[in-house]
Amino acid sequence: MYQASCLCGAVKLTLRGAISSIIHCHCSLCRKSSGTAYATNGFVNRDDLQIVAGEELIRHYAFKPGRLRHFCGVCASPLYSSNQDDPEKLRLRLGILDSDITERPMSHNYVTSKANWEELDAKLPHYAGKEPGRE
């Protein structure tokens, strides 16, 4: 079982089931909706995802007919996407997970659309906290 929440903590979710087809998506839609170089998403069964708190705060945006992006109405954290063509599945934004997961990403997708500054296999320094020189 996995626990998840939005940035402000008003929306809390529980996932009772596996996460499948995890990808790092570099398409322009995912980049814009996440505000980052890519979004990491995985499919979950709708029946396995329980909204524990804050259901009344969840808002959605129809970015294409029948396709909704659901987010917290307080802090705007992206939560999941739904598609009327496959109503039994949700595409979960893995950044909201509070639990460690056993599943792993399988690919980087839409890399021809990636941000020009994103280097997929860059060997950059790693820091446990803030980068040196940042207050």
Question: By the 8 A CB rule, do 42 and 30 touch?
Answer: no
- Confidence (pTM): 0.88
Q: What is the CATH number of the domain that holds 51?
A: 2.170.150.70
69, containing H or E segment:
strand 67-72
95-123 pLDDT, tens digit per residue, is: 999 999 999 999 999 999 899 998 876 67
The amino acid sitting at 113 is: S
Question: Is 76 a member of any domain?
Answer: yes
Burial class (CB in 10 A: 0-12, 13-18, 19+), 79: buried
Listed residue (8, 19, 72, 67) closest to 41, CA to CA: 19
Confirm whether 128 is domain-assigned.
no
Instruction: Provide the residue count of the chain.
Output: 135
Residue range(s) defining the domain that contains residue 72: 2-113
Q: Are 35 and 77 in contact (CB under 8 A)?
A: no
21 Cβ neighbours under 8 A, 6+ residues apart: 42, 43, 106
Please report whether residue 120 resides in a domain.
no
Residue 118 lies in a domain: no
pLDDT tens digits along 18-76? 999 999 999 998 999 899 999 999 999 999 999 999 999 999 999 889 999 999 999 99
Number of domains the chain is built from: 1
Q: Could you write out the three-class secondary structure of 72-89?
A: ECCCCCEEEEEECCCCCE
